[in-house]
Amino acid sequence: MNNFTFYSPTEFCFGRGREQEAGELCVKYGARRVMIVYGGGSVVRSGLLDRVKASLDAVSIPYIEMGGVRPNPTDPKVYEGLALARSFKPDFMLAVGGGSVIDTAKTIAAGYHYEGDFWDFFIGKAKVGNCLPVGVVLTIPAAGSEGSGNAVITNEKTLQKLGIRQPMLLRPKFSIMNPELTMTLPEWQTASGISDMMAHILERYLSNTPDVQIGDRMAEGILLAIMEEAPKVIANPNDYEARANIMWCGTIAHNDTCSLGRQEDWNSHAMEHEISAEYDVTHGAGLAVIFPAFLLYMSDVHPHKVAQLAMRVLDVQPNLPSDADIHNPSTWPLDEQKRVAKEGALRLKSWFHDVLHMPVTFAQLGVPNPDLELLNQRLHQNKGAVMPGYFPLDAETTMQIYKLAL
């Protein structure tokens, strides 16, 4: 296991009615003036925004609000938020919504004290140094931003969708998580969120660092829990227990507990970010298209971890010689690693399609003729000629993966 530092100071307040505590929690973390950020209106329609504002009124905290953050959030909204913040002078950001809202709030928080252009953080020109604290009332389990030290923003002009990762500064102070708030989600958003959280686990699972059993077993356990609970929330959106399980899985999938002490692979995410930047598709749906293609490719060139996933999570049985170590697929005959891995990749693809009703090809995603040359070119402009990870990817290999997703 590699050395690691794990700093995860977020207070998670989970369960029914917890949004009523938003005001008290802001006070607890030092807020005296709050800027609320929200999305396209779901929190207005559900009455959540009014309840959050009432809880701030109850503790006499003045606030200003900015709505209208759209999915795949873009830089103009961040600039708008920064201008509003600089006139109102909040000392605390409160995000009420999903990953897009939280990431916009985090980015405003990061840019508030910075004299240059906040985009500098995203292109590696500057590091976030001083950041307003952020609190969250989560409405969709998906991106995991409620527990992560990340934010992802798209530059509308260059169509670069890039992230920043600074857990020391960007993890929220608190995250309120009431599973009941997720019952109004359309099936598409529920399912896209589930695809995204599964991808977050898999990006951490696909690691070459040996002997991190805790990471593997946690990842496998969370994947199994998601695959057990997902059909329940799809069948009955009001199933509180299933919603609760999915919601907490989404946080643990992305707060780094599964990746501590080992190399990670974020290449599927990078490949998907190019798709959602160019075609504005839902991030999790894009991952349901890319991830099976990525696993299929890996089944051929670097199968051992995919084979382990296939055996332990997707119930594929290996046929092994009697002296083989079933727990260690890298010791299996290579052909059997490949067979098991490939079968697992195909089973996962079917599961996304049949259980989550997710698209699993570009055409099903609503992009029948993707400009793969453009996506691939931007991918390597943003991520370098060779993307390191579970298996190093150059432009030729990423093109093959994109093609497998057609």
Binding site for ligand NZQ (CB under 6 A): 39-43, 71-73, 97-101, 103, 139-140, 142-145, 148, 150-152, 181-182, 184-185, 189, 193, 196, 254, 269, 283-284
- In whole angstroms, give the CA distance from residue 290 to residue 348: 12
**SS3 sequence, 314-379?**
CCCCCCCCCCCCCCCHHHCCHHHHHHHHHHHHHHHHHHHHHCCCCCCCHHHHCCCCCCHHHHHHHH
Q: Which does 42 bind (CB under 5 to 8 A by kind): ligand NZQ, Zn ion, none?
A: ligand NZQ
Sign of CA dihedral 115, 120, 124, 129: positive
> Distance of alpha carbon 397 from its chain centroid, rounded?
24
Residue 152 beta carbon to Zn ion: minimum distance, rounded to whole angstroms: 8
Residue 101 beta carbon to ligand NZQ: minimum distance, rounded to whole angstroms: 6
Residue 178 beta carbon to ligand NZQ: minimum distance, rounded to whole angstroms: 10
- Give the number of C-alpha atoms closer than 13 A to the C-alpha of residue 335, restricted to the C-beta side: 3
Non-local (6+) Cβ contacts of 373 within 8 A are: none
Nearer to Zn ion, 196 or 220 (CB): 196
Tell which positions 185-214 bind Zn ion, by CB under 5 A: 196
Nearer to ligand NZQ, 155 or 330 (CB): 155
Q: Which does 267 bind (CB under 5 to 8 A by kind): ligand NZQ, Zn ion, none?
A: none
Nearer to ligand NZQ, 31 or 96 (CB): 96
Nearer to Zn ion, 56 or 249 (CB): 249
Instruction: Name the residue among 183, 176, 241, 173 with its Cα closest to residue 17.
Output: 176
Residue 225 beta carbon to ligand NZQ: minimum distance, rounded to whole angstroms: 19
Nearer to ligand NZQ, 19 or 216 (CB): 19
- In whole angstroms, give the CA distance from residue 324 to residue 80: 60
What residue type is 300 in one-letter code?
A: D
The distance in angstroms from the start CA to the end CA of the chain is 38
Nearer to Zn ion, 92 or 390 (CB): 390
Residue 357 beta carbon to ligand NZQ: minimum distance, rounded to whole angstroms: 16
Residue 50 beta carbon to ligand NZQ: minimum distance, rounded to whole angstroms: 14
Nearer to ligand NZQ, 176 or 340 (CB): 176
Q: Which does 376 bind (CB under 5 to 8 A by kind): ligand NZQ, Zn ion, none?
A: none
> Within 10 A of 181 (CB to CB), how many other CB atoms are there?
25
Which residue has its beta carbon closest to Zn ion?
196
Tell which positions 337-366 bind Zn ion, by CB under 5 A: none
What residue type is 135 in one-letter code?
A: G
H helices of 236-266, in order, are 240-254
Footprint on this chain of Zn ion (rule: CB under 5 A) = 196
